[in-house]
Amino acid sequence: MKIFGKIILGLFLFLLSLNVNGQSSYFVDSTFVTMCENESFTNERFDSVTVDSMIVVRDSATNHAISGIDKLLICTIMPDGTDIDSVFYLIVTFNPIYNFTIYDTICEGEVYSNNGFNERITGFYTQNLQTIMGCDSIVNLNLVVGEKYNDTIFAEICKGEIYNQFGFNEIGQGFYTHSFLSQYGCDSIVNLSLLVNEPYYDTIYDTICNGDIYEYGFNADSSGTYIQNLNTQFGCDSILVLYLHVNPTFSDTIKANIYKGNVYKKFGFNEKETGVYEQKLQTYLGCDSIIYLDLQVDNVLFPNVVTPNGDGVNDIFDIHNLIEQKAFPENELIIYNRHGKIIYNVKNIKEKSDLWDPKATGSTDGTYFYRFYGKRHDKVLEFNGSIEVIR
């Protein structure tokens, strides 16, 4: 505006300097116009004068044209022969036009209604307006519609832990709500459905048999207390305690005897021959055990000849297997001569010396008779026979 003032002042001084006594005359005229930057001005003197064809002054901040001046010089020859120099000035005040973009945001559900807009969706919009000076202008709107959130988080923690994400700070099971602003400043809600998982503490009382291993992560083979640190399926620390007792297995041997012709049927056996037998059983605690049967089948044999000649062979009435097998712990032996007289009577024979020796009883050669009575757990034996004494 300072430049524009200087131009007006110059025109005023120019008029004062006119030489009215000279042959030449000057004529000065000024036209004052107000128009928009993108318009052009025409009249009989100035044809299509625009901001581009003038000397203009611009605003340093906005670069808008503020004012401008154009000059037109015409020399006119009058009939009296004088010439008149005519200077025409066009002095213009420019009203600015605008073309700018507004960057703004609203929240979902709101309407942007500034500057003549009425928008609710993210996008780029253009508005053709007029300034207060009547100049056409363009306003652009780059609009972002920020989303509102209402989400629910489903989360789990272990007892004793704290859930501290997304602004929450919770330790108990429940449903929580947290209000906050999104990145665009929109009210939003986050819900938290929190499940608190319990740690697992348990104690096992169990037994195994000697020689077995208790597995399931313990690998224990002796009586005692074992502790195992675990994680539940939800990742919570847990403790499992095992109190283990090891039950013994058994191995026992039964010595038994039966008389020939009988069968041993105890403890699951079914044996009738001399030998060692094995029976696998389970204890009342379910542990495998083994019972061995050492079976002796007794068979008492009576001699039919005695030769008491001192050679050590058949010198006495030797009842085979009676003493060796202890076949009949309760027994009685009676010897008769041929006249029916008892010449020897002994009970509970245990040693060889208990048997009948014809030499000891002064028995002569000949035929003798005997009666044997024996009793045991599985048999009573009564046997009568005859024997020859020969020297």
Domain boundaries along the sequence of the chain: 2-95, 99-146, 153-197, 201-247, 251-298, 305-389
Q: Is the pLDDT of residue 217 over 50?
A: yes
Q: Is the pLDDT of residue 211 over 90?
A: no
Percent of the chain's residues with pLDDT above 70: 94
pLDDT digit string, tens, across residues 66-90: 788 888 888 877 777 778 888 888 8
Prediction pTM value: 0.39
Single-letter amino acid, residue 175: F
Question: Which residues, listed in sequence order, are joined to residue 177 by a DSSP beta bridge?
Answer: 191
| 94, 83 Cβ separation under 8 angstroms | no
**CA-based nearest residue to 4, from 50, 72, 70:** 70
Q: Is the pLDDT of residue 4 over 60?
A: no
Percent of the chain's residues with pLDDT above 90: 43
What is the per-residue DSSP string for 131-152?
A: -TT--EEEEEEEEEEEPP-EEE
What pLDDT sits at residue 371? 97
Q: CA-CA distances (angstroms) from residue 349 to 84, 201, 315, 361?
A: 188, 72, 17, 17
Mean pLDDT of the chain: 86
DSSP state for residue 347 in the 8-state scheme: E
pLDDT band at 118 (very low <50, low <70, confident <90, very high): very high
Q: Is the pLDDT of residue 18 over 80?
A: no
What is the per-residue DSSP string for 232-250?
A: -TT--EEEEEEEEEEEPP-
pLDDT digit string, tens, across residues 305-334: 999 998 889 999 999 999 988 889 999 999
Architecture of domain 305-389: Sandwich (2.60)
**CA-based nearest residue to 247, from 292, 212, 197, 298:** 212
